[in-house]
Amino acid sequence: MTLPADAELFSPYDLGSLRLKNRLVMAPMTRSRAVEDNLANPLAATYYAQRAGAGLIISEATQVSPQGVGYIRTPGIHLPEQVAAWREVTKAVHKAGGAIFAQLWHVGRVSHPEFHGGALPVAPSAIAGEGEVYISTGRVPLGVPRALETDEIPGIIEDFRKAALNACEAGFDGVEIHGSSGYLLDQFLRDGSNIRTDQYGGSIENRARFPLEIAAAVAGAIGADRVGYRVGPNLNIHGMKDSDPKATFTYLAGELDKLGLVYLHVAEPIAGPTALPPEVERIAPHLRKVFTRGLILNGGYDVDLGEAAVSSGTADLVAYGVPFLANPDLPERFRQGAALNAPDFTSFYATENGDAVGYIDYPTL
């Protein structure tokens, strides 16, 4: 379908003080192409600049500390060399007329001792996640993590605060806090992974305390109008579950709104192979009622569903993942109603064929 020139999806949007040229967001996607010392690959400058037609790019997940690592060849933003590598990326994006946020990440229990000198990964509670993790020898099952001591938590909050400052130093326009997909903040929030008995466990208010303290620290460091937060209320990846996701995530969203965060990014598939079954209640409409600034929806949207979400007021922006991966010029293809490139699933992550393959070699119109 070719949308009219005045389609809402192509209209500008004011995200805090940042003027976005359209409502299309490039979703954060891990590509496993970082180089030695968890530096962003030099090719990343080309990769992201190719996709600067998006109103906003959200970078691949980026570790706030060595403890936050859980995947091979993923970048960090806690060392000066990492900041310098990311600066080349943001320069390229800005030169191409784009805007880019860094996604700040700590994987928690979704990790392996190989990444931590033999030490156990950390989590709110000593409960193993479900699934596997990819290490140097291949895929291995997730193990039982170590429960964080209460006095360790302020140090992780400080890691996020410093990472946000580093992101700004690297030239990012803002940051997104990764509170989704079964990683550390998500683990604290949900009662299926958090059985703590201190002030960070038990009630919804206590389980949300750690994510909210991180959000407050990051907003205090760089300004709330440069901070977004991502949630996945119905994403059960890595064995995540919660007894009352509607209550849990509505509370979190309301408190994030009080902090003045510029957007809430909700991953909740509505189409495609991972779409929620009809009997599962969608949480995003409830979050829309309590979060008063930008709402980004992500999960199976095509051009028509994206336009419908924005024009109806269901969302302010729509995030696209795989479509942007395979189509550097996705907004222009949507404008023209042009066919989309088919994604090559075998090269989503780095292969022996080289980092460029499946990364910067998709054709434009």
Query: Which conformational region is residue 38 in: left (phi greater than 0), alpha (psi within -120 to 50 degrees), or beta?
Result: left
Q: Is the model's pTM score more than 0.95?
A: yes
Q: What is the pLDDT of residues 124-137, one digit of tens each?
A: 999 999 999 988 88
Distance CA 201, CA 130 (A): 21
Q: Is the dihedral of CA 340, 341, 342, 347 positive or negative?
A: negative
pLDDT in the model for residue 352: 83
pLDDT tens sequence across 6-36: 899 999 999 999 999 999 999 999 999 999 9
Helix axes 80-95, 153-169, angle to 10 degrees: 40
**Domains of the chain, first to last:** 8-336 (3.20.20.70)
Residue 1 has pLDDT above 70, yes or no: no
At residue 4, the pLDDT reads: 78
For a pLDDT cut of 90, what percent of the chain falls above it? 94
Of the candidates 146, 153, 263, 291, which has an alpha carbon nearest to the alpha carbon of residue 214? 153
Q: Which residues of 22-58 are buried (b: 16+ CB within 10 A; e: fewer)?
A: bbbbbbbebbbbbeeebbbbebbbbbbbbbbbbbbbb
Residue 29 contacts residue 325 (beta carbons within 8 Å): yes
Which sequence positions are flagged as catalytic? 183
Whole-number mean pLDDT of the chain? 96
For the chain, give me the number of helices (H) and strands (E)?
11, 14
Element (H, E) at 287: helix 284-290
> Which residues make Cβ contacts (< 8 Å) with residue 14, sequence separation at least 6?
20
Closest CA to 90 of 129, 40, 125: 40
